[in-house]
Amino acid sequence: MSIDKEFETKLMDYSGDRYNMVVLATMWAKELRKKEEYKSQPAAVVIKVALDDILSNKVTKEQVLESCKSSYETEQKAAEEARKEAERKAKEPLKL
């Protein structure tokens, strides 16, 4: 059985909520995009890998949510640090 047929069979045989599966796969694809091996891959490839990971239970809903939460917290911390740095620089007198 070819890989595409196997993937198609998994997709068609999925018994869970398809909407939730798509949402999880989209979230997982965003996380995969952050990895070096997927940065240069076309979006379609990354989405297919994410869908396959969800369908084959390579990653669970909890793992996806935890990864997204962790990424969000890291991004928020970096944004806060950047904001503080910008405020600090704005308060410094201009040097001529």
> Is 70 among the domain residues?
yes
> Is 26 among the domain residues?
yes
Task: Determine the average pLDDT of the residues in 25-44.
Answer: 93
> Is 96 among the domain residues?
no
3-state secondary structure string, the chain?
CCHHHHHHHHHHHCCCCHHHHHHHHHHHHHHHHCCHHHHCCCHHHHHHHHHHHHHCCCCCHHHHHHHHHHHHHHHHHHHHHHHHHHHHHHHCCCCC
Total tally of structural domains belonging to the chain: 1
Domain of residue 61: give its range: 3-91
Q: Which tens digit of pLDDT belongs to each residue from 51-64?
A: 989 888 899 999 99
Task: Give me the pLDDT at residue 7, please.
Answer: 74
What's this model's pTM, rounded to 2 decimal places?
A: 0.72
Task: Give me the pLDDT at residue 94, please.
Answer: 72
